[in-house]
Amino acid sequence: MSSVAENIKAIRAEIPETVKLIAVSKTKPAEAIVEAYQCGQKQFAENKVQELVAKYEKLPKDIEWHFIGHLQTNKVKYIAPFVHTIHSVESQKLLSVIDKEARKQNRSIHCLLQFYIAKEETKFGFSFDEAVEMLKSQEFTQFQNIIIAGVMGMATYTDDTDVILNEFKTLAGYFHELKNTFFLYSADFKELSMGMSGDYQIAIEAGSTMIRVGSSIFGERVYL
Ligand SMILES: *Cc1c(COP(=O)(O)O)cnc(C)c1O
């Protein structure tokens, strides 16, 4: 088995320099994160609030933490003091709570709008029309402590690469349409977070700027 450092090097060598590699460290111990950190990896993602807070407290403070899981509004306050980017914003309610909690901390939080693109009931996210409705709303114009940095989505879990490519292309289409309609003059709206261990090559082909890779870096996760 190859080491965390070797895996990161191999993935970095394979992807374009413009694509950001976010190391998904969920369920993995702090030691594994330190190993990745020591070879220059600074962006890590977690999907559970408690686990993210514990790792934040323990690990170097120049790590850029990303949140990628389903986020309950009553838990935003625990990560608002330090989280850099929340990939999984899937409602206006959640966005308004993130704005409020970020304001209390006197900081801004990058947010990605998560879209529902897969054929799986279990996945969360906006539909395109819902996102448009939110972006047009009066409330949205009042938000001051959030930075809408782009979009995120997860493809169907399948071996059919055509299905995956089509879903990623759909998300890329949403990104460009929102960019042209709402964010033409926003330099911040630039990220297309798509692609995981099993499908990041396809995501990059479809225009991904940010891949979220866990098991290909840290090995398979064991859920006890
Ligand atoms: C776990 C997870 C990943 C990483 O998955 P791997 O297949 O291990 O690369 C990426 N994105 C999200 C939202 C996840 O929950």
Specify the ligand 1 atom closest to the Cα of 47: 15
Q: Give the position, in ligand 1's atom list, of the atom nearest the Cα of 152.
A: 13
Distance CA 152, CA 211 (A): 10
Those residues of the chain that have pLDDT short of 70 are: 1, 122-123, 224
In the chain, the percentage of residues whose pLDDT exceeds 70 is: 98
Q: For residue 68, what is the DSSP state?
A: -
First to last CA, the chain: 22
Contacts 24+ apart (CB under 8 A), 49-55: 49/75, 49/78, 49/79, 50/78, 51/26, 51/27, 52/79, 52/83, 53/78, 53/79, 55/25, 55/30
The token duo for 70 is: 């389903």
Residues with CB under 6 A from ligand 1: 24, 26, 47, 68, 154, 196-198, 212-216
Nearest to 41 by CA among 19, 64, 14: 64
180 C-alpha to ligand 1 centroid (Å): 29
Span from the CA of 215 to the centroid of ligand 1 (angstroms): 8
Please give the pLDDT value at position 222: 80
d(CA 130, CA 127): 5
Ligand 1, residues 4, 11, 22, 24: which to mutate, most atoms within 8 A of Cβ? 24
Q: Which residue owns the Cα nearest ligand 1 atom 5?
A: 214
> Do 49 and 94 form a contact (C-beta atoms < 8 A)?
no
Q: Which of these, 207, 209, 162, lies nearest to 190 by C-alpha position?
A: 209
Provide the mean pLDDT of the chain.
Answer: 96
- Residue 120, pLDDT score: 75
Residue type present at position 71: L
pLDDT tens by residue, 39-95: 999 999 999 999 999 999 999 999 999 999 999 999 999 999 999 999 999 999 999
State in Å: Cα 88 to ligand 1 middle: 12
Give residue 124's pLDDT: 81
Give the pLDDT score at 144. 97
Kindly give the distance from the C-alpha atom of residue 39 to the centroid of ligand 1, in angstroms, as a whole number.
Answer: 21
pLDDT of residue 223: 76
